Structure 1
Amino acid sequence: MTTSSPLTVLVAGATGSVGRLVVAESIAHGHTTRALVRDAAKARRVLPAEAELVVADVTDPGSLKAAVTDADAVVLTLGSDGGAHSSPENVDYGGVRNILSALADRAPRIVLMTAIGITSRSTGYGHLLDWKRRSERLVRASGLPYTIVRPGWFDMNGPDEHRPLFLQGDTRRTGTPADGVIARQQIAQVLVQALTAPQAVGRTFELVAENGEALEDLDALFAALTPDAPGALDGTGDEENMPLDREPAHVRADLDALRDRTGTP
C-alpha cells in the first residue's frame, strides 16, 4: 500500500452516504480531514469528532475560499437530491466547477466520484449522468493531478462479493445492478487510497466487486489501469457519444476557462 506524509484533505459531499465514510477513512489514514458542510449541527451528528468542519455551499462560489485554502487533496463525492437548489446541474456539475475555480493557482490532488454507466446518454436518470460526465470533463481539463472513480450500485453485494475489480471503457450500461455492485465502505477505501497512489494519477475507471476477499493494498490494481489520453475530455475507452460542439454554450465556456487558466491543451 502506498504511504506518504499526511495530507490536508477536503471532502466535498462529506455528510452523504459515501462522503461520511471517506471522512472516517481519511482520518484513519492519518490525514487532516476537512469536511465541507452546509449544516454544522447536522455534520457533528454524523461525522467523527476529529473531522474539521468548514461551512460552505458548493453552489455558492463565494463561500468556498476558506474550504480550499491549504488543501493538499480534494475528494468530491457530490450528489444532488433533485430539488431546485440541488439539481444535477447545480451540484454534480456546478459544485465541481465552483471548487475547481476556487482553487485558483493551487494544485491539489483531485479524486472525483461519479457513477458506472455514465456514458450511456440515458434519459432514465433525468440527464443526471450527462451532468456527472461533464463534471469529469472539467476535472480532466483542469490540468490538476486527478483520479476519477465510477462506482457500481451501492451496498448490493452478495455475502462473498468483496474483491474489488477495476474496469475501463464504461461498457456496462444497462442501468441496473447487473452492471456491478460495490459496498460504500469499499468506495471510500478506494477514494482515499487514490490520494497517495502515484499509479492512480490520470486514471478513470469503474469500480465493482467480484467474488472473493477484500484487498487492503490496491496499488497493483491502480498500476494495471491505462491512463487517460493527454488532453482528452473523456476517459480511456469511453464511447465518443457526447460531441463537444453540441454541448451547452456555458459548458463549453467553463471548459475553456479552465484550460486557459492552466494552459491545458
Structure 2
Amino acid sequence: MDQGLTMSRNQNITDVLMVGATGSIGQPAVRAAQRHGLHPRALVRDPRRAEQLLPGVELVQGDLADPVSLRHAVSGAEALVLTHRSSGGPRPDARAHVDYGGARNILAALDGAQPRTALMTSIYATRSDIPGVTPWKRRSERLLRASGLPYTIVPPCWFDHVGPTQRRLVLEQGGTADGGIARDQIAETLVGSLLTGTALGKTFELIAAGGQEPSDWDGFFGDLKSDESGSLDGVLDPADLPVEAEPQAVRADLDAVRSLRGANG
C-alpha cells in the first residue's frame, strides 16, 4: 500500500492487540500497524512458532477458547484488530467455536475497557440466501455492535482474486458486493480504520478495482453510511435473521455483552 496516503491520525492509539496475527491477513496487518507507528502485540497460542512468522514483534500468549488466558492479553490495549477465522476442518462447530466464540471471549475479557476495534468478517456474512454461508460471522458482528465499543467492521471479498493493477479500493454496503481483494489491502484498511475518525461505527465490504489506491482515507470512509445507533445490524444489512429467532445461547451472549456495557457506563 502507498506509504503516502493521508489520514487524520488518532493520537490516542498506540498499543494494538492483533488477534489472528499469524494468519494470512494478520501478518500483513501487523506490518501495517508498524508502518503507521503503532505498537502491535500479537496474541498467539504457540510463541515458538510465532517467533518465526513475526520476528521482533511482541508476543502475548493466549487462547481464544480460554477467556481467562485473554485477560492479560487485552490489558492496556488501546485498539484491537480481529482477523481470526476458522479454517473449517473436521470439527463441525469450528466457525461457531472460533469465528464467533473467539470474538465473544475477547469482548468478555475486556471487562469494560473500550478499545477501538476493527473486525474482519467475510463476504456474504449477512446473506442467508447464499449456499454454504453460516450465520456465525454475522453473529460476531452483532456482538461487537452490542458491546458499545467504537468499531469498524469489514467483510472483505474474495482473497487474492485480483490483478496487479487493481489497487483502487471500492467500499460497498448491504452484502451484495462481489469481487476480489489483495490481502495487504485488507490489512491496510483494517489498520487505517483505527486511525480515521470517519470509519467509526461503519460496516462495509471491501473490493479492489482497476486504478490507484486512495490517497485520502478520511474522505474515502466519509462517503459511507453509518450503522444506526443501537442497532445490532449494519445499516443496509438484510432483515432476514431477527434476534428473536436466534438460539437461546446466542441471545444470552448478546445480553451478557450488553450487561457488561451497562455495568461499566
Please state if 1:100 is matched with 2:107. yes
Q: 1:81 is matched with which residue?
A: 87
Q: Quick check: 1:24–1:48 contact (8 Å CA) kept in 2?
A: no
Q: 1:221 is matched with which residue?
A: 220
* Aligned-partner SS, 1:10: strand
* Aligned-partner SS, 2:37: coil
Please state if 1:140 is matched with 2:145. yes
Q: 1:181 is matched with which residue?
A: 180
1:64-98: per-residue Cα shift (whole Å, max 9, x none)? 01110100000100111224398100110000000
* Aligned-partner SS, 2:204: strand
Q: Quick check: 1:119–1:238 contact (8 Å CA) kept in 2?
A: yes
Please state if 1:167 is matched with 2:172. yes
Aligned partner letter, 2:42: A
Aligned partner letter, 1:120: R
Q: 1:26 is matched with which residue?
A: 33
Q: d(CA) in 1 for partners of 2:129 and 2:88? A: 17
Q: Quick check: 1:190–1:218 contact (8 Å CA) kept in 2?
A: no
* Aligned-partner SS, 1:228: coil
Aligned partner letter, 2:229: P
* Aligned-partner SS, 1:140: helix
Q: d(CA) in 1 for partners of 2:204 and 2:63? A: 28
Q: Quick check: 1:80–1:86 contact (8 Å CA) kept in 2?
A: no
Q: Quick check: 2:161–2:181 contact (8 Å CA) kept in 1?
A: yes
Q: d(CA) in 2 for partners of 1:95 and 1:106? A: 17
Post-superposition offset of 1:237? 0.8
Q: 1:156 is matched with which residue?
A: 161
Q: Quick check: 1:109–1:144 contact (8 Å CA) kept in 2?
A: yes
Q: d(CA) in 2 for partners of 1:60 and 1:25? A: 28
Q: d(CA) in 2 for partners of 1:122 and 1:21? A: 32
Q: 1:250 is matched with which residue?
A: 249
Post-superposition offset of 1:100? 0.4
Q: d(CA) in 1 for partners of 2:133 and 2:210? A: 32
Gaps of 5+ in 1: 173-178
CA RMSD of aligned residues (A): 1.6
Q: d(CA) in 2 for partners of 1:197 and 1:235? A: 19
Q: d(CA) in 1 for partners of 2:18 and 2:131? A: 29
Q: 1:196 is matched with which residue?
A: 195
Post-superposition offset of 1:215? 2.2
* Aligned-partner SS, 1:227: coil
Q: Residues 90, 122 of structure 1: CA spacing in aligned structure 2 closer, same or farther, 3 A cutoff?
A: farther
Q: 1:45 is matched with which residue?
A: 52
1:170-223: per-residue Cα shift (whole Å, max 9, x none)? 123xxxxxx111100010110001111111110000000111012243211111
Post-superposition offset of 1:226? 0.7
Q: Quick check: 2:214–2:220 contact (8 Å CA) kept in 1?
A: no
* 1:101-140 matches, cutoff 5 A: 101-122=108-129, 124-125=131-132, 127=134, 130-140=135-145
Gaps of 5+ in 2: 1-6
Aligned partner letter, 1:134: R
Q: d(CA) in 2 for partners of 1:132 and 1:222? A: 22
Q: d(CA) in 1 for partners of 2:187 and 2:74? A: 20
Q: 1:68 is matched with which residue?
A: 74
Q: Residues 160, 235 of structure 1: CA spacing in aligned structure 2 closer, same or farther, 3 A cutoff?
A: same
Higher relative contact order (CA 8 A, sep 6+): 2
TM-score (norm 1): 0.92
Q: 1:212 is matched with which residue?
A: 211
Post-superposition offset of 1:159? 3.1
